[in-house]
Structures are given as structure tokens and as C-alpha cells.
Chains A and B, each alone.
Chain A
């Protein structure tokens, strides 16, 4: 089949190459040439057929020989079975280029003037395998279209680590890697989640895409348990800006270090457990904890510790995709620091948390197209509580925001997704919006 196709392609190619010449040649010459080519093609076809026949005969003969030899094999007395050496023949490419991207459109329903279209991200990923056990994983990302001193875009390295396999599924990592927290952080391609925007809990509470520099170890057991542990850089509370609202949008997102001259006096530890013992079910949790003051001279919160944990579940029976997640973060010993922020709108919260539950259903599958409507309800609070401050000087904790998202993902093949949804906010109704998005991953 393939050979025939190749021959046809060659013949076609030859025809095209000959075309300019033919234009100046007479029709008769052209016909003669075509006839000659057609004869050659016939000959090639015949040769191919003969060659295929020969191959078939040889294979048949080999099989016959194997069958004939069989009775001679001392089957009963054979202490160990005869080895059939048909080892897999290749190990795959050494350097793999992949990527993903998404472009989103948001239109606040109560203020159409704030409608925006944005290249959320474009990512180029390169993975290189040095040998069977060692590989490098990297992701290079641009956000918001244009990056320059006068633009708002960002250019960043999202992952850059070496992974080494120690056998039996035990793997070690060193470098800049994703913290195994929640469902989305390590699985953040637009084709992997429902809705145009990533959910609020896993952006405002768990600061995805969250990565740290350090070392990590992962493994799994036959019972379906996967574990991850690691020691990495943590957050830098010294970056907290009480005058901006950034800390209100995502407390940890505003003080993450992303491997950029990351302060490392205080390191953090993390651990994650995920169980997939029943097909279709995932139950898991993670914890990350580390001090965030870095013994900085004159800093009022050198004893502050940041701890974030999450519990998550996902169940995919048949065409359903159900998930739920709870995440909670705490920042301790912030009293003295917040005293210095009196009068500012965004002091450091003592706790922040959120949860969501989501149901998606694969409604339609026709050829390459898969339509999955979904609904998600989430509740989150980035300033659930504050450490004690003298009466009248503090900021009141904010109420929980509650968001309902209804929409659908239309997948085209495996790598392309078109999304549309509507988000309704319970507290800040001005944020209600319609979202459209396209995404891809390869």
C-alpha cells in the first residue's frame, strides 16, 4: 500500500516536473511521453506485485518451517519456555517539541465597554531525552501577546527540570517544576479543563501555574497510590504590596517567586498523595509548607509560615466527568507586618480558602467533534480572616464569592478546543461575564 502510494507520488511528481517542458512540446510528443510513463508505471506495479508475492511466500515458508519444527521441540522436557525474541524495535524520538496556547474573549454583561480579547498564553515546550533514564523537560511561555517595557505581557520559563528514573517507577526531579497541588496545576493545558478561564479556586487560592525550584521524588504502588515529596523554594512575603489589589486577587500569586532570584533562606516542603485504585476514580490531597520571611533585616514577619493544602476528587463514570476540590491557605505570624500596613486596603490575610464542584457530560460525539457541556459552582475567599489588629485599625474579612459557570467545550480531535461559557457572580455582580475561547495543545 505505502509503496504503491510512494510510486504514485513519484509518478505525479515526474509529471509535474515534465510539465514546463511539455508546454513547449507538441501534443504528440506529450502523448508519447505520457504513454511511456504509463508503461513504466505498469512495469513498476508489476514489479511491486511480484515483490509482495515473494515476501508473502517467504513469510509463509518461515511459518511452515516454524510449524514443522514444532513437534521436534521437546515441549515436555523443556525446563524453561523458548524465548520468542520480538523486542520492541524503537524507543521514540529523543527531542520532542510540543506546545499549547489559548486566546480568550471576555465580555462583562453589565459593562460591554470592558470587553477584551487576549492572547492568554502561547507556550513552546521542549523535552529532551539524554538516555533511557534521564530527560530534560522545559516550557517557555508568553502571556498577553506583547512583552516589552511599555507592555503588559510576560515572558517566562514555566518548567525547566531534569528527571531521572531510578527503576520501579521511582523518579527524581531537580530544577524548576510544577507543585503537585490540586487537579489543574500539573494538568493545565486548555484542552484539559472545562471553561474558557481556569477555575477561581485553582488560580486565586492555588496559584496555578505554580512552580518552584528544588528537588522532588515521586513513585507509585500497585495498589494505585501515587506519591510526591519535595524540598523547594517557597514564597517571599516581603513582596506583599498592601496598596495594590493583587493580593486580594490571589494572595499567593502575588508573592510567588517563579525561580527569579528566588529568596531561599527559608525552603518549603511539599507532599502529595493520589489514589486511583478504582478505574475512573481519583482521590487525592497535597500539602505545601514553608516560612516566607527569609530572615530579612528589618522585616516584620520573619516567622511567617505559609501553608497550603488541598483535597480533591474526580470521578469519570462512562461519559460523565465529575470533580470536586477544596483548598485552604494559611499565613501565620502576620500581626506585626499588618501593623505596618494599617490604612492600606490589602493587609496580609491569615487564611484564604475555596472549593468547587463540577459536572461535565459528553453529550455528542460525531467524527472528530466532541461536545461536552458542563456546570461548575465555586465558592472562594482570598481574605477569609486576618490576624488580630487593634479595634478600628483592621480591614474586615471579605465575604465568600460564589460563582456559577455554565458552558461547553467543543473538542476538535484531541488537540483543539473551542469553549464558550457564562459566569455569574453572587457578590460582585458587575463581574458577570460571557467568555469565548480557543485553545490547543500538541
Chain B
């Protein structure tokens, strides 16, 4: 299986002390997004060509990845939603983040897991991240200047992150919406 080495690596990563620049682990992120969940199940997604095209159309940008790291959050047997893990490049370095999605594919919450740039850490601010809540790929408002306010001094980081979230919202719309 394609994910097995990753899972093994992740297990090692979980044992290691938390990174200094790491604000949340994947585990902490899923807890923060779905505090009521009792079970989390990895549900990795693989998009086919047609699905990639749909995502590109919805997000108005390249779909980038075939494979997506998705975790389903359940309370008992009830699906509460999904968490998608992803990385985008800020100015120079990778930003790791998690997007919580409702079963209807709208954004539930955005959590920044690691941020490594010297400047622009303001994307972690709750007030800025709140702008995404409730929005979906079909509803719009998931672009800088159109629904999401820019962060002065962190333009690249917030633009790339916003693009990443819009892409995930599109993936959710195509693949996960119930």
C-alpha cells in the first residue's frame, strides 16, 4: 500500500518530541476541529482524471495532487465531518495545515500545524482563520480580496494558504459531500 511507509514514518514522528515550530500535531488538530468525535479513521482519497478536472474547475486552479490525506471524524457511527491535511509553500517554506470540513463540504475550521517562516506567522490568528468558516467551493468567498482579507506583511503566506483551502474545499465538494 502506498501509505504504509508514510504511516510508519508518521508513527516515528509522533514518538519524537514536538517540533518547535509545530503548533499542533495531526492528532491535536483533529481534536481541536472535532472535540466531540470518538473515532477518527484515515480515509485517504485518490482522484481520477475526471475528478481532478472537476476540482480544477471548482477551485479555478490546478488540482495539484491525486492523493489526499483525509481523516473521517465519527461520534459513534455518525459522521461528524472530515479533516484534510495538506501543505503549501508560504514565502519559502512549507506551511502544514488542517482543514476541517462538515459533511456538506463546507469549511468547519482551519488549523495551522506548522509555520516556519520568519515573518507572516499571523496566518495563525484565530480572527483571520475564522473568515473561512461556513464557506464552500460552490458558495465562493474563498479568495484573497474576495471574502478573505489579506494580511499585510504576509501576502504570500496568506494567498497560498487561501488557495490551498479553496482547493481542499473543491476536493471535498467533488469527493466527500454527503
**If A166-B20, A316-B149 touch, does A78 touch B119 (CB 8 Å cutoff)?**
no
Interface residues on chain B, size class: 35 or more
> How would residues 66 to 90 of chain A score, 1 for a CB under 8 Å from any chain B CB and 0 otherwise?
1000110101101001111111111
Interface residues on chain A, size class: 35 or more
Contact B76 A76 (CB under 8 A): yes
A-B contact count (CB 8 A): 174
A282 contacts across to B, CB distance below 8 A: 151-153
Contact B153 A187 (CB under 8 A): yes
Contact B77 A96 (CB under 8 A): no
Residues of chain A from 52 to 74 with CB closer than 8 A to chain B in the complex: 55-56, 58-59, 62-63, 66, 70-71, 73
B25 contacts across to A, CB distance below 8 A: 87
Nearest residue (CB) in B for A280 is: B149
Q: Which of A23-31, A233-241, A271-279 interfaces with chain B?
A: A271-279
Contact A96 B40 (CB under 8 A): no
Nearest residue (CB) in A for B118 is: A163
Contact B21 A133 (CB under 8 A): yes
- Give the docked Cα–Cα distance between A220 and B38 (Å): 33
**If A66-B41, A82-B39, A92-B116 touch, does A316 touch B150 (CB 8 Å cutoff)?**
yes
B89 contacts across to A, CB distance below 8 A: 92
A274 contacts across to B, CB distance below 8 A: 153
A133 contacts across to B, CB distance below 8 A: 19-21
Contact A78 B39 (CB under 8 A): yes
Nearest residue (CB) in A for B86 is: A88
- Give the docked Cα–Cα distance between A323 and B150 (Å): 13
Q: Pick the 6 closest A-B CB pairs, nearest first.
A: A280-B149, A87-B10, A279-B149, A92-B94, A84-B40, A282-B152
Could you list which residues of chain A lie within 8 angstroms of chain B, going by C-beta atoms?
A: 1-2, 55-56, 58-59, 62-63, 66, 70-71, 73, 75-76, 78, 81-92, 96, 98, 127, 129, 132-133, 135, 137, 163, 165-167, 169, 171, 183, 186-187, 192, 220, 222, 224, 226, 274, 276-282, 314, 316-319, 321, 323, 362, 414
